Structure 1
Amino acid sequence: MKQAKGYILKDICGVPYILPYGQNIADRKRGVRLNESGEFLWNSLASPISRETLLSNFASHYQARPQMLPDLENDLDQFLQTLSALGMIDFCEEHEYLIGGIRLCLLGHPDCIPEEFLPFTQSAPAHDTVLKLTIELLPAADSVYHPVNTQNNHLLLENAELTIHQVTNGFLFHFPTMTHLKHGFLSLDGTHAKLFYELPYEALLREELFHAIRFLYLYLAEKNDIYAIHSASILYKGKAWLFSGPSGTGKSTHTNLWKTLYQTPVLNGDLNLLAFENGTPVIHGLPWCGTSGISDIHTYPLGGILLLRQDKTDFIEDLSMDEKALLLMQRLISPIWNEQQLDCCLRFSEKLMRKCYVARLHCTKEDSAARTMKHAIDEQLNN
């Protein structure tokens, strides 16, 4: 929770008041007179904070003894109830998720939080890389995130669904086709972000937020040498094996063939997160999985990547080193907004293809395609 917009603390003859302004005046919102503790609590609500943290800070401020805590807690709850009834605080919750070694900290109204993140709810060490994302209601008079005429503004990419500008301190996002989600900001180091939305709270809002958070997450992941590849994955003999190719080439078909013929679990139906741990390539679980609805929260060693190409017969094509690196890079969906990111993706692809099996699978949609691939994988495992 935090202070609602359109209210400000003012001193009137030595007495603190919370007063409305702007639209809140037009809406006939009330002000409220505060005492010293109320002033402390209101100032503490300037940034998003949980009730538990606010209570702890309140107790520390007054150096409260343990026997005083019940009364202090009661005073806090009464104060928050008063502010809530007057519309002076926005309720937001803090949710933490651990995805691929990156701690995603979301601050927002509980009705904004996508449920797809729930399986990734777990504590993470404080030293882990953290992306702090605040999800805020768009102000009625929004003039902050229209960067076309701002100085030091550079257009990175623009299409029907997304526009990204780089400014001095980060990146500005605009989502022209989304119903609720309008603008966003991401710091240059990738650790702080904001997304701005319009009401009402509904499933479509959470869907749009879930989609947009992926852009922010993958930027920070890339800065930590973690990359996402468009692919479906299965677990076979303790390792993850990826099917990658353009949409419509049969990723889902082949994962289903393996599941039917060899009872292999499907890890993710659309997207996999690649990294190195102690020099060994691994995949991390991701909540994003396209329309497949299939995802996994665990980390597995990577066995190999099969690049799919539809054909009339089933066979494995060996690729040259440069073909492997280029084709892998082209399947990555990590940001390539500038030349530096292109270099990072290419270097990672070159490193990856030297550490795992990469080949092209020419394939039909028949059982024979799975048998051909299984034979090639078994040969690799036996070597």
Structure 2
Amino acid sequence: MEGNRKKVYRIAGHMLVIGGSGTSELLERMGCFVPFLSEESSACPDLTIETDRILPSVPGILFYESFLEIGHLRIYKGKACFLCSLQSSDGYNSFHLLCFPGRRKVLTDSTSHPDLLRFGFWVAYNISFAMQRTIAIHASVITCNGKAVLFLGESGTGKSTHTRIWCEHISGAVLLNDDSPVVRITEGYPLVSGSPWSGKTPCYKNEAYPLIALVRLKQAPYNRISELSVLRALGAVYPSCPPELMGDIELSDAICMTISDVLQRVPVYILECLPDPDAAGLVYQTIFRS
């Protein structure tokens, strides 16, 4: 990578150096990575991503496959590496990434498809940092009074609606990320950071806050909140972690250890609720006034 083609990014405290002229230009045009650009030296990165490469042929075993809105995803495990293969829904675009977690390196070929690039980097980020107590969780997160609250739930449960109600009706509540915030254990404590991955809501903030609570949403004709036992809390949080990594024992174990660290410090609640301000007020009173 030539020096003038390198870009330094800082995501959830991890330094990434991304090289490759075509990819760097596409990242800047996309906008979601721009808030995470850093002026730091690229001498000691936590992860180096070399793009626009001709990838070597690596034998591997398929351990994850899914048909997503953006296309077809397959992940293979090779010797000390993972290969991520993405094919767009129309079949005209593809993107391949070769991840070496032990070497802190990712190699990719080229793509002009923004969604494939964005999602491919999300997969590579999770694979590369799972062993470092870092996971991107499927959640919508607000900050309030200098703390972060993660709202979990299946797609369509109303996470985005609930956090929007918070921002409209709870003084000081601000949206940090609406789809894939990053949780990282730092000195024993969980921090929540914004990320370049925020679903359909363009909310890309390079900020981090202590995690004060996790709340799993469940639609109901009433509003009721209950704190979960550790066992039930694990069952509430685990489904919101990247399913793309769960087929590998080492990655899955690393995620479970991170969840365990979170549960030692942070309460998890189940909120059975209506999509109304009273539900947001109930959570606020429980978490911030208890």
- When normalised by structure 2's length, the TM-score is 0.88
The aligned counterpart of 1:352 is: 262
Whether the 8 Å CA contact 1:102–1:128 is kept in 2: the answer is no
Q: CA 1:189 to 1:122, structure 2 compared with 1: closer, same or farther past 3 Å?
A: same
Superposition pairs for residues 11-30 of structure 1, below 5 Å? Answer: none
The aligned residue for residue 330 of structure 1 is 239
2:64 maps to a residue whose letter is L
- 1:311 counterpart residue number: 220
Q: Which of residues 174, 195, 198 is equivalent to 2:85?
A: 174
- Alpha-carbon contact 2:8-2:42 (below 8 Å) kept: no
Kept in 1, the 8 Å contact 2:178–2:198? The answer is: yes
One-letter amino acid of the structure 1 residue matched with residue 169 of structure 2: L
- Does residue 134 of the first structure (1) align with residue 50 of the second (2)? yes
Residue 294 of structure 1 and its aligned partner are, at CA, apart by 1.3
Aligned to 1:111: 25
One-letter code aligned to 1:104: L
Contact 1:233 1:269 in 2 (8 A): yes
Q: Aligned pair in 2 of structure 1 residues 168, 208: CA closer, same or farther (>3 Å)?
A: same
Q: How much has 1:379 moved relative to structure 2? A: 3.4
* Structure 1 runs, 4 residues or longer, greater than 6 Å off: none
1:50 aligns with 2:16: no
Specify whether residues 191 and 328 from structure 1 end up closer, same or farther in structure 2 by C-alpha distance, changes over 3 A only.
Answer: same
Contact 1:190-1:220 within 8 A present in 2 as well:
no
- How far apart, CA to CA, are the structure 1 residues paired with 2:97 and 2:16? 16
Query: Which residue of the partner structure matches residue 58 of structure 1?
Result: none
Helix, strand or coil for the counterpart of 2:97? strand
**How much does 1:242 deviate?**
1.2
Which residue is 1:276 aligned to? 185
1:30 matched to which residue of 2? none
Task: Please report how far the alpha carbon of residue 216 of structure 1 lies from its aligned counterpart in structure 2 after TM superposition.
Answer: 0.5
CA RMSD of aligned residues (A): 2.2
Deviation at 1:176, TM superposition (A): 2.6
SS at match of 1:325: helix
2:157 partner SS: coil
SS in 1 for 2:235: helix
Q: Tell me if structure 1 keeps the 8 A contact 2:101–2:128.
A: no
Equivalent residue in structure 2 for 1:164, among 66, 75, 91: 75
Q: What amino acid does structure 1 have at the position aligned with 2:250? A: Q
Q: How does 1:1-383 map to 2 (within 5 A)?
A: 48-50=1-3, 93-108=5-20, 109=22, 110-113=24-27, 114-124=30-40, 129-136=45-52, 144-145=56-57, 150=59, 153-160=60-67, 161-177=72-88, 179-189=92-102, 191-197=104-110, 201=112, 205-263=113-171, 264-333=173-242, 335-380=245-290
Gaps of 5+ in 2: none
Supply the AA of the counterpart residue of 1:130. D
CA separation of 1:365/1:216 partners in 2, compared to 1, >3 Å: closer, same or farther? same
Consecutive unaligned residues of structure 1, counting only runs of 5 or more, are: 1-47, 52-92
Cα deviation digits, residues 207-251 of structure 1 (max 9, x gap): 321121111111122121111211111111110111111111111
CA distance in structure 2 between the aligned counterparts of 1:301 and 1:188, rounded to whole angstroms: 27
- Which residue identity does 2:108 align to in structure 1? L
The answer to which structure, 1 or 2, has the higher relative contact order (CA under 8 A, 6+ apart) is 2
Q: What is the total number of aligned residue pairs between the two structures?
A: 278
Largest Rg, 1 or 2: 1
Distance 1:192 1:111, change over 3 A: same
Against the structure 1 CA distance between its residues 126 and 314, is the aligned structure 2 distance closer, same or farther, given a 3 Å change threshold?
A: same
- The whole-number CA distance in structure 2 between the counterparts of 1:301 and 1:137 is 38
Identity percentage over the alignment?
A: 22
